[in-house]
Amino acid sequence: MSSDAADLQEAVARFVRAFGLHQPDRTPCGTSIPTSEAHALGELARDGELRQVELVHRLRLEKSTTSRIVAQLVQRGWAERASAPGDGRGVLVRLTPQGHQAARRLAAARRARFGTALERIPADERDAVLRALTLLTEAVDEP
């Protein structure tokens, strides 16, 4: 491995630990729910309802994993499943009122966490940080 690749690996590992991304049962903003559930909650809050197969694509997870996440959201009372209109096999997932409330709490916690982080970055370097994260995401993103 080249020195540059090793440096990138170490920097990403430090980033993951600093944000708590290695803690699967807590979100980076400190909320005590699995990160995968928080991502599903955010996607559902953004669109109101989604076909479960669309949630699979957005989360980039296996169907079985997404199904398990949806089951957890249903068990928490945050989501409900219904048959997709015009598709007897399709599943539609939507947030309940409690799910919308949970999504709002998570969004507020995210804003606070990222707002604090952004304030700690010198104003003249913020655009560079955002651009670097975008470039890194694009570099590792599968086509």
Instruction: Note down the domain range covering 70.
Output: 34-140
Query: Is residue 5 domain-resident?
Result: no
Give the three-class secondary structure for 30: coil
Number of domains in the chain: 1
Query: Is residue 8 domain-resident?
Result: no
Percentage above 90 pLDDT, the chain = 59
pTM of the model: 0.82
| Average pLDDT of every residue of the chain | 90
CB atoms within 10 A of CB 78: 24
Query: Is residue 56 domain-resident?
Result: yes
Q: What is the mean pLDDT of residues 85-106?
A: 91
Query: Is residue 3 domain-resident?
Result: no
Q: What is each CA distance from 139 to 11, 21, 132, 142, 143, in whole angstroms? A: 15, 19, 10, 8, 10
Which CATH number is 97's domain given?
1.10.10.10
Q: Is the pLDDT of residue 127 over 90?
A: yes
Query: Is residue 15 domain-resident?
Result: no
Give the integer Cα–Cα distance in Å for 50 and 17.
32
Query: Is residue 122 domain-resident?
Result: yes
The 79-84 sheet, strands edge to edge = 49-51, 87-95, 79-84
Give per-residue pLDDT as tens, 7-24. Answer: 889 988 998 888 777 877
Please, which pLDDT band fits residue 121 given cuts at 50, 70 and 90? very high
Query: Is residue 73 domain-resident?
Result: yes
